[in-house]
Structure 1
């Protein structure tokens, strides 16, 4: 697993490394036709400041986001809002090195929900990496992978970097 680090309090920070150019990662992050390979069923996607992103995470459970900042191929900042949760913010920053891209995902404003989001974002980042490499993971595998990551995270969380 290319997980580099995880930290949380009321903000979750996950750093993930992907061996690919930043433009390839950016395309999967922001291209409406590719976002569904890592985030869920995208119903609406306007990748521009002021644009909207609506994702169905299954059975009509919708997350609505407003794009606040979009700086290709480096930074995406958006709101994150499920109907039964307070509005929060997700920032995704790409930092390209010679042979990889460090993807830093910062989900702020989660409060007590921060820990519950950790395995979910790690699962989504696994899907992101697979999509970048041209091997999208079937959505039918999401909850099984999520359960595995949750078990590993729960067992290792005191010793994670």
Structure 2
């Protein structure tokens, strides 16, 4: 897994990842409804332009809704993030050339006390994104077992950081 770093500060989750794929292929993972369905959920709406919306059904009636605030294909995407029973937050995605392919700098802002609960989820989703971009979709039934593993590892990291701090 090419997860290169995870950090939290001021209620912002920061994840850096390297994909062994060109930027345009990774970009498609965020903008193509067929690829979105392999890693994030079923797209109900997918209008990736400034002012457009992305609505994703995460199953069980849980819909995320995002309004696109900035697009610079294939390098930058910014949007709001609305999830049921949570305050609105913001996501920024930046793609850059990396030695092994494409680097992703993912930022989820304004999470406040939810910041650590989002870490394992986004790491799981980005693992699925990597599979989708590579043309090797991970079976949906593996999501929660994989999430549980990342949750355990992430929790250990948070505890270690608290001891250091």
Preserved contact between residue 18 and residue 98 of structure 2 (Cα < 8 Å):
no
CA deviation after TM superposition for structure 1 residue 83, in Å: 2.3
Structure 2, unaligned runs of 5 or more: none
Give the distance between the partners of 1:114 and 1:156, measured in 2 at CA: 14
Give the distance between the partners of 2:26 and 2:91, measured in 1 at CA: 16
In the alignment, which residue of structure 2 is the partner of 1:49? Answer: 50
In the alignment, which residue of structure 2 is the partner of 1:6? Answer: 6
In the alignment, which residue of structure 1 is the partner of 2:134? Answer: 133
Preserved contact between residue 18 and residue 100 of structure 2 (Cα < 8 Å):
no
CA deviation after TM superposition for structure 1 residue 99, in Å: 2.7
CA deviation after TM superposition for structure 1 residue 125, in Å: 0.5
Give the distance between the partners of 1:70 and 1:140, measured in 2 at CA: 32
Aligned residues: 159
In the alignment, which residue of structure 2 is the partner of 1:83? Answer: 84
SS in 2 for 1:105: strand
Preserved contact between residue 35 and residue 133 of structure 2 (Cα < 8 Å):
no
SS in 2 for 1:104: strand
In the alignment, which residue of structure 2 is the partner of 1:153? Answer: 154
Structure 1, unaligned runs of 5 or more: none
Give the distance between the partners of 1:113 and 1:25, measured in 2 at CA: 27
In the alignment, which residue of structure 2 is the partner of 1:36? Answer: 37
TM-score (norm 1): 0.95
CA deviation after TM superposition for structure 1 residue 126, in Å: 0.1
In the alignment, which residue of structure 1 is the partner of 2:60? Answer: 59
SS in 1 for 2:39: coil
Q: Which moved more, 1:42-51 or 1:94-103?
A: 94-103
Aligned-pair RMSD on alpha carbons?
1.1
CA deviation after TM superposition for structure 1 residue 12, in Å: 0.4
Preserved contact between residue 42 and residue 56 of structure 2 (Cα < 8 Å):
yes
TM-score (norm 2): 0.92
